[in-house]
Amino acid sequence: MSFFFRIKNFFFNDEKLAKDTPVYSLLIFTPASIVSHILVIPFTIISLPSLLFSQNFQKKFMKIMLFVQHSIAVGALYSIQEYFFSTLEIYDVIIGSLFAFIAFYKSIKALVQETLDKLY
């Protein structure tokens, strides 16, 4: 058990996020940033009706949309792999996004917080 704990602490200790680790940054978060830039347009269109509501609602809705956007972007490698080696279906995107959300929650949360700090 201590072996797995040391490996977890080496990669995911409290001071270092996965997005700050060079290996994860190169292999996962660089392609994810490209996918995230592509996803900005549809998620902006989806979030436009929230401008009718209060700023508090806008903040919460934007936070949820950013979590979804970054989860889809980080899980895009799984979806791309399914596209090339099998048939891509919607549940593949959902599974990849859920896996990314669970595995890289702290890094996605930091990315969302950075974006919210810039916006509000």
23-48 pLDDT, tens per residue? 777 777 788 888 888 989 999 899 89
DSSP of 48-99 = GGGGGS-HHHHHHHHHHHHHHHHHHHHTHHHHHHHHHHS---HHHHHHHHHH
**pLDDT at site 84:** 77
Is residue 74 within 8 A of residue 29, CB to CB? The reply is: yes
Any idea where the domains of the chain sit in the sequence?
17-119
**Residue 10 belongs to what H/E stretch?**
helix 2-12
Residues 85-108 have pLDDT tens digits of: 777 778 888 888 888 888 888 888
Is residue 50 within 8 A of residue 62, CB to CB? The reply is: yes
- Confidence (pTM): 0.77
